[in-house]
Amino acid sequence: MNNVRGEHERPPGFWGSRYSIGLIFIGAVAVYFLLTEHLAHVVGALPFLLLLVCPLMHVFMHHGHGHSHGAKERSAATQKPEQTKPGEPS
């Protein structure tokens, strides 16, 4: 037995395997045939897809703005009073 505990070979991830290349190839062929055979349907659905994208972008892109109820009351209570600079009227 030739077990070395310090060396571990990690198997390649999915995107580094030959299966991912096959999946990408099959997906590209499927997209090609769908677009060539059903181009009129795809073009006809574009305005509706654009309208669908707007609310989805709004929902998924506003996650970092801190829109939570009651945040103003909590932030007003924890804020320090503003300090005036010397020479400025208070």
The predicted-structure confidence for 51-88, as pLDDT tens digits, reads as follows 999 988 888 887 766 655 555 555 555 666 566 667 76
Using pLDDT thresholds of 50, 70 and 90, give the confidence band for residue 48. Answer: very high
The predicted pLDDT at position 14 comes to 81
Residue 35: inside a domain: yes
The domain tally of the chain equals: 1
d(CA 82, CA 88): 12
The predicted pLDDT at position 80 comes to 60
Residue 5: inside a domain: no
Range of the structural domain that residue 22 is part of: 17-61
CA distances from 30 to 23, 24, 26, 37 (A): 10, 10, 6, 11
The predicted pLDDT at position 10 comes to 78
